[in-house]
Structure 1
Amino acid sequence: MNTSIVGKQFELTEAIKGYIEGGFDSLSKYSLDIISARAVITADEKKGRKGFGVELIINLAHMDTVVIKQKEKDLYAAVDLAVERAKKVLRRHHDKVTAHRTKTEETPSVKEVAEKIDGVDEIVPMELDLYKPMEIEEALEKLKESGRQFLVFNDQEAKLRVLYKRTDEKFGLY
């Protein structure tokens, strides 16, 4: 990472340069490809008040340039706030790049997951017959005939229900 520290209307000391370079070094922890970082320090005096302005310009590969401007009465406070804001921007970009799925990576379907699982009981995707409401007795008969462990259906009041076989050979209803 190329770094540049410039003072406008202000003479930079080695202590200030070292402090700003330490702030730049803390930005490298996000593992982003930072091409260059530049700090422009200005001293302002308006209405008898002294103040300092810090402008950080960070060039990233494959991303637009990040520009952060911060003004404070104290130079070190201005540098700290500007570096914290830069960390926030870089952290958000890092999280976006590493944690979030891109649009090309879609959630796999049940069938795709079933095909990828080796050594596990076979997963068979099924369509649910939820379209017409059923009486509980009708669902019980359908479950007995099918030999399955459970049946999902809508009852006459349009509630989603689950009828299942228990281990004691009785049936349960959610």
Structure 2
Amino acid sequence: MNTSIVGKQFELTESIKNYVDSAFETLSKYNLDIISGRAIISADEKQGKKGFDVDFAINLAHKDTIVIRQKDKDLYAAIDLAVERASKVLRRHHDKLTTHKNKDDEKASLNQVSEELVEGVDEVIPTELELYKPLEIEEAIEKLKASGAQFYVFNDIDAKMRVIYKRNDGKFGLY
């Protein structure tokens, strides 16, 4: 993992750099593809009060960048809080990847079940429906014509599940 530590309006010491490096190392325990980590530490003085801003930017492979901003009076406390928040985000992502079944495993199990249940039918191929985008009826007709299938299942603009099908006389029917 590439790490960069930048101090704005603030002189970075070796102990602060080592502390931030060790903080980034603790984030590698989630076994995610962390490409790079960037820490920007800046001194902030408003209304006579001193404080520190710590910004973490963590780049994950095949995922968006995680950006965490933390403010505190104590620099080390701000770093600790930012690492805790980053750890929480990375743990959620890691748990999501490890606890949810892989889609390929689900498809393989669907194929096995369908082959066991239906022995008299030539072939049953389960497919996933693309129901996430509502379509106009005209768009559904165009998709049905383009696919060459007998029917097409879609959600209309009113979020109702609809089925459009080809009739024997060449026209289209709608449920």
Same fold flag (TM > 0.5): yes
How far has the Cα of 1:99 moved from its partner?
Answer: 1.3
Q: Which residue of 2 aligns with 1:124?
A: none
Question: Percentage identity across aligned positions?
Answer: 68
Q: Which residue of 1 aligns with 2:113?
A: 112
Q: Which residue of 2 aligns with 1:47?
A: 47
Tell me how far apart the structure 2 counterparts of residues 36 and 12 of structure 1 sit (CA, whole Å). 20
Tell me how far apart the structure 1 counterparts of residues 106 and 33 of structure 2 sit (CA, whole Å). 27
Tell me how far apart the structure 1 counterparts of residues 67 and 49 of structure 2 sit (CA, whole Å). 25
Tell me how far apart the structure 2 counterparts of residues 87 and 95 of structure 1 sit (CA, whole Å). 12
Question: Which piece of structure 1 moves more, 90-99 or 55-64?
Answer: 90-99
How far has the Cα of 1:28 moved from its partner?
Answer: 0.4
| 1:76 is aligned to 2:84 | no
| 1:4 is aligned to 2:4 | yes
Tell me how far apart the structure 1 counterparts of residues 93 and 42 of structure 2 sit (CA, whole Å). 28
Higher helix share: 2
How far has the Cα of 1:103 moved from its partner?
Answer: 4.7
Give the aligned CA root-mean-square deviation in angstroms: 2.0
Q: Which residue of 2 aligns with 1:151?
A: none
| Residue deviations 1:120-170 (CA, integer Å, cap 9, x gap) | xxxxxxxxxxxxxxxxxxxxxxxxxxxxxxxxxxxxxxxxxxxxxxxxxxx
Tell me how far apart the structure 1 counterparts of residues 25 and 96 of structure 2 sit (CA, whole Å). 21
- Alignment map for 1:157-168 (pairs within 5 Å): none
| 1:34 is aligned to 2:54 | no
Tell me how far apart the structure 2 counterparts of residues 2 and 103 of structure 1 sit (CA, whole Å). 31
Question: Which piece of structure 1 moves more, 92-101 or 43-52?
Answer: 92-101
How far has the Cα of 1:112 moved from its partner?
Answer: 3.0
Unaligned runs of at least 5 residues, structure 2: 117-175
Considering only CA atoms, is the larger Rg found in Structure 1 or Structure 2? 1
Unaligned runs of at least 5 residues, structure 1: 116-174
How far has the Cα of 1:68 moved from its partner?
Answer: 0.2
TM-score normalised according to structure 2 size? 0.60
Tell me how far apart the structure 2 counterparts of residues 106 and 7 of structure 1 sit (CA, whole Å). 48
Q: What residue identity is the alignment partner of 1:87?
A: S
TM-score normalised according to structure 1 size? 0.61
